[in-house]
Amino acid sequence: MANAAAHDFAHADRHTCVPTVLFRTDVLEFGLAKLPIVIGHYGPVQPSLQGVPARPAILVFALAAGALLSYQATRLWLAYHRIHSTRLEIIERGAALEPGDADAWDLLGRYRQLDFANADPQQELADYQRAVREDPLNASFWMNLAGAYEENGDLSAAQNAFERARSVYPLSAEVAWNYGNFLLRQGKEEQGYAEIHHAVQSDPRMLSLAISRVWRSSRDVNVLLDQVLPPDVDAYIQALDFFASIRQSDPALVVWRRLISLGKVVALPRTFPFLDELILDDRAADARQVWVDALTAAGLPHEEPLNHSLVWNGGFAGDFSNGGLGWRWNSPIGVAVDFDTAPPASGVRAVRLDFGGGLNLEITEPMQYVPVQPAHTYHFHALMRTEEITTESGMRFSLIDPNHNDAVNALTDNFTGSHNWTALDMDVTTGRETNFLLVRLLRTSSRLFENKLSGTVWIADVSLVPADSQGNPSP
């Protein structure tokens, strides 16, 4: 009976798709009936057009659209190449193809502006007017139009055009620069300087241009400092470099004092062009004061040399500054430089130079520009040691006036071969126009066949002291 019941259940499950339970007297089993697989039957769908004549219409529309796009593309290509031609008549034809292209009209105006042989200021003005009409939000177009108005003598319209350019792009350094220069040309200095100030604040790359332009316009360094330059180190350093390049020490000193008043750190090498100009102009007292100020601003030791010496860092406690009133060394080929132990009571370090023996060298370093007074006597002192210096042209110290030929030409003894530490002393009297002495280690080129320089030289404890400070009378 149990098996018959199970058979009936299984038969029923084939249609109801529900789990079946099989009962036996000895085992209870569970199983799942198979689910029926339902398969959909889809017949073919035939596309149809309600109106058969629509097919040719679509084709005609596609061909027309393609032809129109091809025509537009060809026209744009042709206009572009004509506009960027180098011939006026071709540019005109390109602009005519694209009458709404503001760039084309602006380019046409600029071409006319540069065509000096066939100048047409009125047509140039018309081209620029067309450009701003097509694109009134382009500041460059307004500036070009302003230039055309100025060229045609309509200064009021030119200023209005510059005002429009500024309203379109108020942060533009280029707009401010050009507008400022226009105002300066019209004698409106205060407004012009304000615009140039705005330009350099927006774009510091314009600083050098602004400095030269304002100086040519005003010849007043205070106008430059008070109305144009931002009060920062970079702006003042660029002004110093400009005045040094045109040999104007007095306005440069005004800028220098303004720079120092900022109390900011100034890298020492940035002051070297200004100091070189002071040396070249024989401004000894100014150079010495600027040197002390520069060391202070750079955060470097700036104590005056001991024993009234005028030579800076004569004991070589610090490294070469390579500029200003410090020691200069430009690393000539064939020479190795280092610092060594100085002899007792003779400074902190000695400079050691090793010569490789492959060149007939002319040595003029280390060297230093020393501010002095005209027609005074000074006592020079240095220590030197040599080891196997070859050729007849050895090592010595030279003191000359760098700005006046033959005013001073003092030399110590010539050292060749090997010598222990030896004091080199001599008195030097400056000329009536001498304001600087150039102190340098010197070796002139040898004229011998065996002229290659080898060996080693040490120098230490270099000083230049006014003779009257040693109890000697000065003339």
Q: Is 12 left (phi over 0), alpha (psi -120 to 50) or beta?
A: alpha
Q: Which of 10-14, 152-156, 183-187 has the lowest mean pLDDT?
A: 10-14
Q: Which of 39-43, 108-112, 169-173 has the lowest mean pLDDT?
A: 39-43
Q: Which of 140-144, 248-252, 330-334 has the lowest mean pLDDT?
A: 330-334
* DSSP letter, residue 294: H
Query: What average pLDDT does this structure show over 110-114?
Result: 79
Q: Which of 136-150, 301-315, 400-414 has the lowest mean pLDDT?
A: 301-315
Query: What average pLDDT does this structure show over 306-333?
Result: 93
Q: How far apart are CA 285 and CA 187, in angstroms?
A: 39
Band of residue 129 on the pLDDT scale cut at 50, 70, 90: very high
Contact 376, 466 (CB under 8 A): yes
Which candidate, 358, 350, 355, places its Cα nearest to that of 443?
Answer: 355
pLDDT value, residue 89: 59
pLDDT at 207 over 90: yes
Band of residue 475 on the pLDDT scale cut at 50, 70, 90: very low
pLDDT value, residue 6: 45
| Segment 437-461, tens digit of pLDDT | 999 999 999 999 889 999 999 999 9
Which amino acid appears at position 174 of this protein?
Answer: E
Query: What average pLDDT does this structure show over 227-237?
Result: 97
Query: What average pLDDT does this structure show over 408-418?
Result: 97
Give the chain's domains with CATH numbers.
2-31 (no CATH), 80-170 (1.25.40.10), 335-470 (2.60.120.260)
Report H helices in 139-188.
Answer: 139-151, 155-168, 173-185
pLDDT value, residue 43: 59
pLDDT at 22 over 60: no
pLDDT at 52 over 60: no
Band of residue 93 on the pLDDT scale cut at 50, 70, 90: low
Scored b (16 or more CB within 10 A) or e, 326-361 reads bbbbeeeebbeeebeebeeebbebbbbbebeeebbb
Query: What average pLDDT does this structure show over 232-258?
Result: 97
Query: What average pLDDT does this structure show over 187-212?
Result: 96
Contact 325, 371 (CB under 8 A): yes
Which candidate, 353, 287, 293, places its Cα nearest to that of 324?
Answer: 287
Band of residue 24 on the pLDDT scale cut at 50, 70, 90: very low
| φ/ψ (deg, to 5) at 155 | -70, -35
Q: What's the predicted TM-score (pTM) here?
A: 0.76
- Mean pLDDT score across all residues of the chain: 85
Contact 284, 251 (CB under 8 A): no
Query: What average pLDDT does this structure show over 266-274?
Result: 97
pLDDT at 14 over 70: no
| Segment 338-370, tens digit of pLDDT | 999 999 888 789 999 999 999 999 999 999 999
pLDDT value, residue 100: 61
- More confident site: 92 or 177: 177
| Segment 420-435, tens digit of pLDDT | 999 999 999 999 999 9
Contact 465, 372 (CB under 8 A): no
| Segment 209-230, tens digit of pLDDT | 999 999 999 999 999 999 999 9
Percent of the chain with pLDDT strictly greater than 90: 67
pLDDT value, residue 110: 83
Band of residue 473 on the pLDDT scale cut at 50, 70, 90: very low
Scored b (16 or more CB within 10 A) or e, 156-183 reads ebbbebbebbbebbeebbbbbbbbbbbb
Query: What average pLDDT does this structure show over 195-203?
Result: 96
Contact 13, 21 (CB under 8 A): no
Q: How far apart are CA 64 and CA 284, in angstroms?
A: 87
